[in-house]
Structure 1
Amino acid sequence: ETYDEALEYQKKLLAVTVGHSHLRFIKNESTFEEKYISCRAEFESVLSGYEIEKKFLVEYPDFALLEKYNPFKAEISQTYLLCAVGSHRIRKRGSNGTFTYFETLKIRVTGSCAEETEDVISKAQYDELMKSADPDKNTIIKDRYCFLYEGQYFELDVFRFWNDRAFLELELKSENQEYKLPPEIKVIKDVSDDYHYKNSYLAGLKL
């Protein structure tokens, strides 16, 4: 297999995996043991049931500058349900007319860490759960652009009610993990611990 063939295969692989809601990226370490350690750490992070996330309020992106990262665009419709504990939501997610449906219960531990349970559900289940939508909250509709940068997986959320700002999110394995943000995106501030920038809060505003 030539270098060009391997590069083309890599592009095709990224095209079908980037955009998955739980994609994990593992660097090609120098030894098998290092690869195994990296892989195990990702599995343990997923199986822990905890989501550790950095969230940034950013200036509205220049998508022409992001084209080199070949972002995958997903359409998301997110509805919050009546819930006494935590955040209970359902989500319709997909592209090009093909959608997957999710039910998620999220209980926040700290501003950037939450215990999360998520299940894939059928459209019929989704439609039934819609009957329990919180009447005080709007459905959040957004476009999510997923891309890789420096071995990190980013999700850039653009909303219909904002034309001057957006969210950039990065999932971490630990709260002290180092990370590097793409220079093409201008950060306004870190809002990981600010409740006023959670989707559940925004859903309750008249935007």
Structure 2
Amino acid sequence: MCSASSLAGDLAQEKAHENGNPHRVYKIVLTGGPCGGKTTGQSRLSTFFENLGWKVFRVPEAATVLLSGGIKFSDLSHDETIQFQENLLKTILQIENTFFSLAETCSQDCLIICDRGAMDASAYIMKEGWENIISNNNWNNVELRDNRYNQIIHMVSAAVGAEEFYSTEDHACRSEGVQLARELDYRSAASWVGHPYFDVIDNSTDFETKMKRMIDSVCQKLEINTGDRLLKNSKKRKFLVRGPLPKDEEFPAFQDFDVVHNYLQNNNPKVQARLRKRGQKGHWMYIHTLRKPKIKDQTIEVRTQLTRRDYLNILAQRDDRHFTIYKKRRCFLFNNQYFQLDIYKEPAHPRCLGLLLLETYSTLDDSELLKRLPKFLDIVEEVTGNPNYSMFNLSLKEDWKSTNRFCSHFAEKKVNGFIHEGKLAPETKNN
């Protein structure tokens, strides 16, 4: 019997060959607030990947095309605004599909950069109007947001943290003042909250470094070694949260997902293989993940998006020595930082009951990250690198004290956590 990891790789390879294209197609949405560096970023990203030998397609922003034709939001009634956004979304999808089809037949690795994407249309209308649009067209948020694109990059407006550089002079369709630009920036970012690979590139560095951070975020997802050309990627930081959680209205705008994890049988003890099902309202995204041994102090993860059929086929190889992990994942933006709060649910091992873990990716130093942590959550301590909070270990059916399967070699490099109260999971393992 072949392993689950090889089966997933074979399925991905078969899918590529079925489409007549054994090469990679990677779809990015480059979005952001006014004067955030989106236009420059698109040019820099294109040049970088073209120099690597990739074919790069740049999908134009449909809204700019229409607005430059004389349409003004201030002239539209409420109903006309809804109709305009619906037609705009149809236009976006059709233009993107044209480029997606070209990429599938391309003989090179292909990067598609979408100047904004489907969910950006939701930032300019009320939630009820958006729900009506997707319902009328038999769309859903999981397909439009999560399954359609591989990665979302939000370039934060200069109006947020770099006000002295904010300008409307170089953009014919831009007239926003600083305060409105901040509001639009937040609404644009909030429209993408929930995508599994969502990077927020803020103004904590100079503009040149901001561009490098943006390019690096793409290279890291694609496992492209950039050497010393770009900054080192941000690191995952994990925090233990004490319940009960505050009421929903105390959170900023958020998206909740049902998440199901299953670990898979694997012949190589140095590799972890798992399946993830993540969705909302009965619409799902399926991911196969391989965690490989560290290279230069970095754990390598290879993720493959699956169809439902492929997911069910591989699920037959789940490892019975692990519990299935059930979580509710709450995604939200706070202080220009993207957070994921994992709320562990039953059925589960007693060690997981009531467990709340907050995660974010950041290049910030401890003092700056501390300022950005959600003040409305009761954060106990940082647990980055603590194997007691590894999902692999949390899912083990055996007692940690008696098993030889407790894993510590995949733990990320420990950091000197800056919040300490000494609280650990109910069951601990001495390493």
> Is TM (by shorter chain) over 0.5?
yes
Letter in 2 for 1:121: L
Residue identity over aligned pairs, in percent, reads: 25
Q: Within the alignment, does 1:125 sit opposite 2:315 as a pair?
A: no
Separation in 2, partners of 1:53, 1:160: 23
The TM-score, its normalising length taken from structure 1, stands at 0.82
Q: Is the 8 A contact 1:91 1:103 kept in 2?
A: yes
Aligned length: 206
Structure 1: gaps spanning 5 or more residues: none
Separation in 2, partners of 1:171, 1:61: 24
Q: Within the alignment, does 1:200 sit opposite 2:200 as a pair?
A: no
Separation in 2, partners of 1:61, 1:48: 38
Q: Name the counterpart of 2:333.
A: 148
User: Where do 1:1-207 residues align within 5 Å?
Assistant: 9-10=184-185, 12-28=187-203, 33-48=208-223, 52-64=235-247, 67-83=250-266, 84=268, 85-107=270-292, 109=294, 113-161=298-346, 164-172=354-362, 179-180=369-370, 181-205=373-397
Q: Name the counterpart of 2:102.
A: none
Shift in alpha-carbon separation, 1:8–1:176, aligned structure 2, 3 A: closer
Separation in 2, partners of 1:194, 1:167: 12
How far the C-alpha of 1:46 sits from its partner, in A, is 2.8
Deviates more, 1:69-78 or 1:175-184: 175-184
Deviations 1:79-110 (A, max 9, x none): 10012232100111111221110000013539
Separation in 2, partners of 1:137, 1:186: 30
Letter in 2 for 1:99: W
How far the C-alpha of 1:165 sits from its partner, in A, is 3.5
Q: Is the 8 A contact 1:60 1:163 kept in 2?
A: no
Deviates more, 1:123-132 or 1:100-109: 100-109
Deviates more, 1:11-20 or 1:169-178: 169-178
How far the C-alpha of 1:191 sits from its partner, in A, is 2.1
Q: Is the 8 A contact 1:51 1:115 kept in 2?
A: no
If each structure's strand is expressed as a fraction of its own residues, which one has the higher value? 1
If each structure's helix is expressed as a fraction of its own residues, which one has the higher value? 2
The TM-score, its normalising length taken from structure 2, stands at 0.42
Shift in alpha-carbon separation, 1:175–1:104, aligned structure 2, 3 A: farther
Q: Is the 8 A contact 1:73 1:95 kept in 2?
A: yes
Letter in 1 for 2:264: L
Deviations 1:93-141 (A, max 9, x none): 111221110000013539x952100010000010001110001111101
Say which SS state the counterpart of residue 17 (structure 1) adopts. Answer: coil
Separation in 2, partners of 1:72, 1:36: 28
Deviates more, 1:56-65 or 1:15-24: 56-65
Deviations 1:147-196 (A, max 9, x none): 11222111100011456430011123599896232222222232222222
Separation in 2, partners of 1:40, 1:172: 15
Separation in 1, partners of 2:310, 2:327: 22
How far the C-alpha of 1:30 sits from its partner, in A, is 9.0
Q: Is the 8 A contact 1:93 1:101 kept in 2?
A: yes
Q: Is the 8 A contact 2:246 2:376 kept in 1?
A: no
How far the C-alpha of 1:24 sits from its partner, in A, is 0.1
Say which SS state the counterpart of residue 24 (structure 1) adopts. Answer: strand
Q: Is the 8 A contact 2:238 2:382 kept in 1?
A: yes
Deviates more, 1:78-87 or 1:2-11: 2-11
Q: Is the 8 A contact 1:57 1:189 kept in 2?
A: yes
Shift in alpha-carbon separation, 1:197–1:9, aligned structure 2, 3 A: same
Letter in 2 for 1:21: P
Radius of gyration: which is bigger? 2
Structure 2: gaps spanning 5 or more residues: 1-174, 225-232, 347-351, 400-431
Letter in 1 for 2:308: K
Shift in alpha-carbon separation, 1:56–1:120, aligned structure 2, 3 A: same
Say which SS state the counterpart of residue 388 (structure 2) adopts. Answer: helix
Separation in 1, partners of 2:334, 2:256: 16
Separation in 2, partners of 1:87, 1:185: 32
Separation in 2, partners of 1:191, 1:185: 16
